[in-house]
Amino acid sequence: MIEFWSYKRELRKHKKEIHLNIKKTLNSGQIFFGKEINKLERNFIKKYKSKYAIAVGSGTDALLISLKSLGIKQGDEVITAANTAIPTISAIRSVGAIPKLVDIGDDYLIDTSQIKKVINKKTKAIIPVHLYGQSCNMDEINKISKEYKLKIIEDCAQSQGSKYKNKFCGTIGDTGCFSFYPTKILGAYGDGGLILTNNPTLYKKIRRIRFYGIETTDKKNFFYKQYYACEEGINSRIDEIQSSILNFKLSKVDQWISRRRQIANIYLKNLSSTNLILPRQNKYSFHVYHLFTVYHPKRNKLMSYLKKKLIETRVIYPYPIHKMTAYKKIFFSNKYLKNSESKSKGIFCLPLYPEMTDAEVLRVCNTIKNIMIKFRL
Ligand SMILES: Cc1ncc(COP(=O)(O)O)c(C=O)c1O
C-alpha cells in the first residue's frame, strides 16, 4: 500500500531523537513558555530572515490573531482565494469580517487580475494563500495593497520554505502565518502555528493577543502587570513538547524540501506523456511541493482504480468555499469564480512525502499510465 501520507515512517527514522526531546522537555519543569518556544521563534527569525516570530496554537489562530492585531473587525471585508482551506475563511469570520472571494488562475493561486473587482470602501486586507507549496504573485498583490491601503496577511500554511523571487513566503506581507499541523512541511505531532512580522508594534500586540491580552515583555511599559489584561486577547499557546519536536525537525526541513522537489520532478518527467494536467511552477517562485496536485476530467474513476491498486490519493479541496452550506449565505454572487468551481471537480493529489522511495513514486506513475491505457482515460 502506498499511503497518501503517514508520519510513521518519519517517526521510525527519527524515533531516538524525538523521544529524547520529549523526555528532556518533560524533565525541564516547563510545560508552556519555556526554552523551546523561545528557541523555535529564534530559529524561525534566523532561518526565514524576519525580525520577529510569535509561536501560537495553530495556523488558524495565526490568521485570526494577525487579523485582530491589524484591527480587522466586524463589517470589514477581507479578500482571499475561493479555493482556500476552510480555516482561512473561519479566521476572517471569527473577527466578524466578511470574506470576499476571488477566482484562481491555472496555478491554483489567486488571480491577481481579478482582485480590484471586489475592492470597495469596506475592504481592509488581502490574504494571499500560497497553496500547495507555491507563492502567489506578490509584486502584483503589493502594488494593489499600496494603491488601496490594504493590509497583507500571508497564509503560508502550505508553503513553509517557499519563496517569491528571493524572499521567503511569510516575510513579504504585514504578517506571515504558518501551520504545524502534522501533514505540513514542518509538522508537529499535534497542533501548532507561528506568525512572522517585521513590525515591532504588531509583534508586541500579537504577543499580548496570544496570551489573554497580558503584556509579557516590555517591563518598562505602563501596562506590564501580571494577571492584567491590557487588551482583549485569547489563549493560543504551543506547548514545550511540540516546540522541542519542531526545533529538531526544523534542522531537517531543507533536506526534506529538496526531497519533495526531487519526487515532484520524477512525477513531472514520468507523467508528461499522459493527459493529466500537471502542476505549473511559476518562474518567480520556489515551489516546495507540499502537495502534488493534478487535474483530470475523470478524476473519480482514476482515483478509484488507483485505490484498487493500493495507491491512496486525495482531493484537496473538493468544494470551493462559496459552495459550502456554512458560507453559501455570505456569497450572493459567484459569477467570477468559474475556475475555482471547474478545477475543484477535476483535481486530486498524488502521494508525496520525503520518506517515499523512488521505486514507489515510479510505481504511482506506471500504474497511472497503465490505468489510462486500459480504461481509455
Ligand atoms: C491554506 C491553509 N490555511 C490555514 C490552515 C490552518 O492551519 P491549522 O490546521 O494549523 O489551524 C491550513 C491547514 O489545514 C491550510 O491548509
pLDDT digits (tens, 9 = 90+) for 35-63: 999 999 999 999 999 999 999 999 999 99
Ligand 1 center–CA 238 separation, angstroms: 15
Assess whether the previous peptide bond of 317 is cis (omega < 30° from 0): yes
Burial 270-279 (b: 16+ CB within 10 A, else e): bbeebebbbb
CA–CA gap between residue 159 and residue 291 (Å, rounded)? 10
Alpha-carbon distances of 138 from 111, 169, 228, rounded to whole Å: 11, 9, 39
- Is pLDDT of 334 > 70? no
As a whole number, mean pLDDT of residues 109-123 equals 97
Verify whether ligand 1 is closer than 6 Å to residue 60 (CB atom).
Answer: yes
Nearest-CA residue for atom 8 of ligand 1: 59
- Structure-model confidence comparison of residues 227 and 13, the more confident one: 13
Verify whether ligand 1 is closer than 6 Å to residue 171 (CB atom).
Answer: no
Nearest-CA residue for atom 7 of ligand 1: 59
As a whole number, mean pLDDT of residues 226-250 equals 96
Tens digit of each residue's pLDDT (9 = 90 or more) over 119-144: 999 999 999 999 999 999 999 999 99
pLDDT of residue 338: 92
- Is pLDDT of 164 > 70? yes
Look-up: residue for cell 482551506?
A: 85
- Is pLDDT of 333 > 70? no
- Is pLDDT of 329 > 90? no
Tens digit of each residue's pLDDT (9 = 90 or more) over 253-280: 999 999 999 999 999 999 999 999 999 9
Ligand 1 center–CA 271 separation, angstroms: 29
User: Residue 195 forms beta bridges with which residues?
Assistant: 54, 177
Please, are residues 193 and 56 in contact by the beta-carbon 8 Å criterion? Answer: yes
Q: Tell how strand 163-164 and strand 151-155 pair up.
A: unpaired
Please, are residues 349 and 292 in contact by the beta-carbon 8 Å criterion? Answer: yes
Please name the amino acid found at residue 357. T
Verify whether ligand 1 is closer than 6 Å to residue 162 (CB atom).
Answer: no
pLDDT of residue 256: 98
User: Residue 104 forms beta bridges with which residues?
Assistant: 110
Nearest-CA residue for atom 12 of ligand 1: 157
pLDDT of residue 222: 67
Verify whether ligand 1 is closer than 6 Å to residue 59 (CB atom).
Answer: yes
Ligand 1 center–CA 86 separation, angstroms: 8
Helix axes 59-69, 200-210, angle to 10 degrees: 120
Atom of ligand 1 nearest to the CA of 180: 10
**pLDDT band at 167, cuts 50/70/90?**
very high
